[in-house]
Structure 1
Amino acid sequence: MLKNKRSMLGKIAIVGAAISVSAFSVQASGVGDVVSKVEVDYSKHCAACHGSERLGAMGPALLPDNLKRLRKNNATTVIAEGRTATQMPAFKNILDADQRQALVDYIFTPPKVIPSWTEKDILATQVVTHTQGELPNKPVFEADLMNLFLVVEIGDHHVTVLNGDTFEPIHRFKSRFALHGGPKYSPDGRYVYFASRDGWITKYDIYNLKVVAEVRAGINTRNLAISSDGKSVMVANYLPNNLVMFDAENLDMLKIYPVMNSEGKTSRVSAVYNAPPRNTYIAALKDLKEVWEIPYPVEGKSSTVRKIAVNDYLDDFFFDPDYKLLIGASRGAAGGQVVDLDLGKVVHSIPLPGMPHLGSGITWDYPIKNEKGLLEMRQVLASPNLKEGKVSVIDMKTWKVIKEIKTEGPGFFMRSHENSPYAWVDVFFGPNKDKVHVIDKSTLEIVKTLRPSPGKTAAHVEFNKDGSKVILSIWDMDGEIIVYDANTLEEEKRLPMVKPSGKYNVWNKTQYERGTSH
């Protein structure tokens, strides 16, 4: 009875929220006013990705508070030339200089109604359709539950549950709009949590193939993380500038963390991740030179924030397997920085020209000569580059780049597995986007270049549980996933999908396999 009451209240609240959004749209657009030329241009060229009210959709929000690091002259260049390593196209042949400048002035102008999303707004959207213990504990299908994949199909906003042994689809369901940041599994692999760009957090019961709870955490959301004890979820928002913690069971809101420094300057959150050995969440900030560490909640005690000063903004970051070190970089910076989370300070800098995608970095052991000239196995970090055609391989003891592997263009994703001799990297940006390189981890040489679907973007490799198989996405509305033997590199199977992006294996994600992103 309680569940049904909460569900009904939540549904009423969602209807109310929709009415509120509609009212906001009418007020913001100014009913009765003459629609300006710039508003027409924005609606035609920008709204599909950035939202009709500039609140963000597949692209980020375009409001003054969200453009803190982008000067007006740089914004004009971005509109004209597009933006490296994003889906932002160039408009110089579509919009003239006056139109482009008018758009810049428009997006740097505050909206008529300042958007907000308060605790009251969050609570009003919560819907619990099935309380814990209500649904059976036995899965409704037969499969190795730790070798499942969830395939996110961004073309029509669906998710496919895939058997990682047979590579046969088990179920396909509708998701929220524009999932982002990768789903996160509960430690036992039964539940998966999704974050959508427009702030919706969805808890899904894989055993019963049902949505069990939802809540809207923000207006424009970056990603989420779940604690290692499976008891809490932390959500990183671009808009509002905050982090929001929820109880993992029914997505009850626990706490809002406004993100600002001692001077009152606010910031978007680049991303938040779980740090298993530390029993904390780690967040890097988009507009403040700080890293935040927040302990898991303890009953009766409020989690306080530990703030660590860093040398530059951290748009993209990666952890060593022990979660003692955070390795991050700012978009467009000349290098990276290594933050010792125990010491609470930056301890190294790394020369990384271009735009390293450290969030897609992976590690493995590689023989390197020590000071005595003897070979010893050391852990190396490898990262693709969003701007230049190369993979940087870094010695994680000296933090020196030991090799730059030349690729046929900038890459987005890199993946491997503890049991695989190979690392795979795509060539996501540029004319060779239909190619994927396979690198021998023992020689740091490209041993094979695949071109599985000429003319279509090939990206995001993920391994199965034991590392024996690899699946690759063809990012196209008429797309597919392709299964390869991870050792012979031979193609085995193709499954049609609607622009499949990420594929996430339960075992690799819950065990924090060091060949995949966390």
Structure 2
Amino acid sequence: MDKAKLAAAALLLAGGAWAEPAADYAEHCASCHGEERLGGTGPALIPETLGRVRGIEDVIAHGRPATQMLGFSDVLDEAQIAGLVEFIKTPLEAVPEWTEADIAASREMAPDYAPAQAPVFDADPLNITLVVETGDHHVSVLDGDTFDVLDRFPTPYAVHGGPKFSPDGRYVFIMSRDGWVQKYDIWSLKEIGRVRAGLNSRNIAMSEDGQWLAVANYLPQTLTILSTETLEPVKVMPVVARDGTPSRVSAVYQAPQRKSFILALKDAPEIWEVTTDPEGGPFHDGFVHSYEKGMEESVGAQKGLFARRRIVVEEPLDDFFFDPDYRHLIGTNREGTKGVVVNLIVGREIAELPLPGMPHLGSGISWERNGHRVMATPHLNEGVLSVIDTEDWSIVKTIQTHGPGFFLRSHETSPHVWADVFFGPHKDEVHIIDKQTLEIVATLNPAPGKTVAHTEFTRDGRYALVSIWEDDGAVVVYDAQTLQEVRRLPMRKPSGKYNVWNKITFSDGTSH
């Protein structure tokens, strides 16, 4: 295409005010990132997928190591690069569509994949830990006993939300911020394929039986359900409130005992439950429920499969924590000033909790304390942990920490909760908290001055793995009893770490 046609296409795409940056985009970027900035071989370049990514100017000028992104400093000057940055940060004029046909057409299966009949390694396949390295968009596969790296494979751009394992622990599904879902065979150490389930996606959830994978989307405003076997789309559900308001899906969760998915709606005062049981799951005859007549809707080909239930709440809630039997969830309001307890059986709010300072309920964990089940949550804007009794929903204690935190972790075998201090001057610390006394008994500082976050335990709870959340970071392995460092593995900005056994068994101490 000549320069005149490129410029004309750019004007159509972005409007006259953006003519020059749009022309630069059309010439240098569109072939990889799509004419409408919705992605291609490269990621989508829209505000919803870029989020708070920093250093975009440097990436455009100098490229990104270990990717196909080349630098353009030899053909674009500083002003042109600055214009491109502002252009790709500009919202699209219209909400794009991404239909079931679009999803199906994006599906790419690895032509050389052949499933192994047994693991190709000697390690315990249920003690494998995956480390998401956001620094260069890879995942490392760790032997949970020796901590040797068995494989390191590329992922789609900007993995977002935790990977989900099949019930037997063999397969893992990984989702990127721009909607790509990747399927990987842990036994074979091979990628099986990938499909683009949305344009801007939040997270994924696996059905209790392992047949279906749900993808929560911001763009378009849908829930996509994929076959886990083939990655083919089986249902795309528009998410529209009772009053006709379209809504983004903040997150989707698996409720295994209920055989359903639970959806948090960003823009509507509703919670959705979608059954994955052909017999109806929580909607079948005889199950206790009290929601408005007509709110159950069958939208699947089979009776009961993917039937939908709406639970009406006072205001939009998200960032859900579930008690172990999935009878209740706690969500937070948009302002992050309180927690709201919803009983999923009767389908209504039953309690409120004073939780100011933006509680991060999705990272909450629970354990038994003095004969009571309690849960704890960090707060993103305050240096506290709130401990809550899940029987009467009272605040047991507010633990003062050295700053706001992001993640909590523990294990059935551990007497401790590990809590990072992700934000603020103490971001290099991890608090060790006694589960019974609720006192901080130790504070670790594995990398002074660097951000430390996200603990994960091995299958038996013997070791705790902590991330140094930097581009030149590491995973630090601690003896969970003595709190002594055992090994340090260099990694590229390791964020989440996910042990197969802990995730498929819904281990105590692991967020679900």
TM-score, normalised via structure 1 length: 0.79
**What is the CA distance between 1:333 and its match in structure 2?**
3.2
Q: Which residue of 2 is the match for residue 341 of structure 1?
A: 344
Q: Say which of 477, 484, 490 aligns to 1:490.
A: 484
**How far, CA to CA, are the matches of 1:25 and 1:210 in structure 2?**
39
Q: Which residue of 1 is the match for residue 49 of structure 2?
A: 57
**What is the CA distance between 1:230 and its match in structure 2?**
1.0
**What is the CA distance between 1:454 and its match in structure 2?**
0.7
| Structure-2 change in CA distance of 1:481 and 1:346 (3 Å) | same
**How far, CA to CA, are the matches of 1:131 and 1:294 in structure 2?**
36
For residue 491 of structure 1, what is the amino acid of its counterpart? E
**How far, CA to CA, are the matches of 1:236 and 1:157 in structure 2?**
21
Q: Which residue of 2 is the match for residue 409 of structure 1?
A: 403
**What is the CA distance between 1:238 and its match in structure 2?**
0.7
Of residues 295-304 and 412-421 in structure 1, the stretch that sits farther from structure 2 once superposed is 295-304
Q: Aligned with 1:322: secondary structure?
A: coil
Retained in 1: the 8 A contact 2:429–2:443?
A: yes
Q: Aligned with 1:56: secondary structure?
A: helix
Q: Which residue of 2 is the match for residue 400 of structure 1?
A: 394
Q: Say which of 112, 120, 132 aligns to 2:101.
A: 120
| Structure-2 change in CA distance of 1:193 and 1:341 (3 Å) | same
Structure 1 segments unaligned to the other structure (5+ residues): 1-21, 62-102, 368-376
Retained in 2: the 8 A contact 1:340–1:346?
A: yes
Deviation sequence 1:420-472 (CA, Å, 0-9, x none): 00000000011111111000001100000111101110000001101111000
Where in structure 2 are the equivalents of 1:20-419 lying within 5 Å?
A: 27-30=12-15, 34-35=19-20, 54-59=46-51, 111-112=92-93, 114-129=95-110, 134-296=114-276, 298=278, 300-301=302-303, 302-367=305-370, 377-419=371-413
Retained in 2: the 8 A contact 1:27–1:113?
A: no
Retained in 2: the 8 A contact 1:28–1:113?
A: no
| Structure-2 change in CA distance of 1:350 and 1:29 (3 Å) | same
| Structure-2 change in CA distance of 1:205 and 1:52 (3 Å) | closer
Retained in 2: the 8 A contact 1:472–1:483?
A: yes
Percent of paired sites with the same residue: 52
**What is the CA distance between 1:396 and its match in structure 2?**
1.1
| Structure-2 change in CA distance of 1:472 and 1:33 (3 Å) | closer
Q: Aligned with 1:57: secondary structure?
A: helix
Number of corresponding residues: 435
**How far, CA to CA, are the matches of 2:358 and 2:222 in structure 1?**
26
Q: Aligned with 2:317: secondary structure?
A: coil
**What is the CA distance between 1:123 and its match in structure 2?**
1.2
**How far, CA to CA, are the matches of 2:499 and 2:384 in structure 1?**
27
Deviation sequence 1:314-370 (CA, Å, 0-9, x none): 231110000110111024232101110000001111111111110000001112xxx
| Structure-2 change in CA distance of 1:176 and 1:170 (3 Å) | same
| Structure-2 change in CA distance of 1:468 and 1:125 (3 Å) | same
Q: Which residue of 1 is the match for residue 430 of structure 2?
A: 436
Q: Which residue of 2 is the match for residue 479 of structure 1?
A: 473
**What is the CA distance between 1:297 and its match in structure 2?**
5.5
**How far, CA to CA, are the matches of 2:8 and 2:242 in structure 1?**
35
**How far, CA to CA, are the matches of 1:206 and 1:128 in structure 2?**
16
**Aligned-pair Cα RMSD in Å:** 2.7
Retained in 1: the 8 A contact 2:44–2:199?
A: no
**What is the CA distance between 1:256 and its match in structure 2?**
0.8
**What is the CA distance between 1:33 and its match in structure 2?**
5.7
For residue 454 of structure 1, what is the amino acid of its counterpart? P
**How far, CA to CA, are the matches of 1:203 and 1:309 in structure 2?**
35
Structure 2 segments unaligned to the other structure (5+ residues): 1-6, 30-36, 38-42, 54-85, 279-300
Retained in 2: the 8 A contact 1:28–1:112?
A: no
| Structure-2 change in CA distance of 1:448 and 1:29 (3 Å) | same
Retained in 1: the 8 A contact 2:260–2:277?
A: no
**How far, CA to CA, are the matches of 1:232 and 1:272 in structure 2?**
13
Q: Which residue of 2 is the match for residue 460 of structure 1?
A: 454
Q: Aligned with 1:124: secondary structure?
A: helix
Retained in 2: the 8 A contact 1:415–1:461?
A: yes
**How far, CA to CA, are the matches of 2:425 and 2:126 in structure 1?**
37
Q: Aligned with 1:315: secondary structure?
A: strand
Q: Which residue of 2 is the match for residue 65 of structure 1?
A: none
Retained in 1: the 8 A contact 2:259–2:277?
A: no
Retained in 2: the 8 A contact 1:200–1:218?
A: yes
| Structure-2 change in CA distance of 1:484 and 1:129 (3 Å) | same
TM-score, normalised via structure 2 length: 0.80
| Structure-2 change in CA distance of 1:495 and 1:436 (3 Å) | same
